[in-house]
Structure 1
Amino acid sequence: MESGSDGGRPSISDTELLRRIGQDLRSIYAEVIKQPLPPRIQATLALIDREQRLAEQPGRTLPY
């Protein structure tokens, strides 16, 4: 890589910069996905799932 006009730091192409940003984001998101869901979110998702299953039953309607 060549030195640019920004104080001697090597310049990189936009493509290489975007590739590095993508790698960093994938790494960060991978760590976030590994974390457990907070209990309130788990409870809310369970409620939504339960209501969807009830709504799929023939002849059943949701109470709202």
Structure 2
Amino acid sequence: MDARRSSATVGRGVRSSSALIAFAELFLQIEIEQIDFMSAIYDFDTLYLPLERHAKLKGMHHAAPTLL
């Protein structure tokens, strides 16, 4: 069943905008938490060195370790 309007002047666009804002805030908060989690697990400063060696051994482009 459809939700009732919060007032007579509130149209579908306004309701859609508020739902989109709520979703975007939730999504971005989860992304920030995931970045913090992954940063805590991996030491990105030392992770680059093995990737750089692998890229050189395979003859990859010099930007490959950064992309990997």
Report the TM-score when normalising by structure 1.
Answer: 0.47
Greater relative contact order, per chain length (Cα 8 Å cut-off, separation 6+)? 2
- Write 1 or 2 for the structure with the bigger share of helix: 2
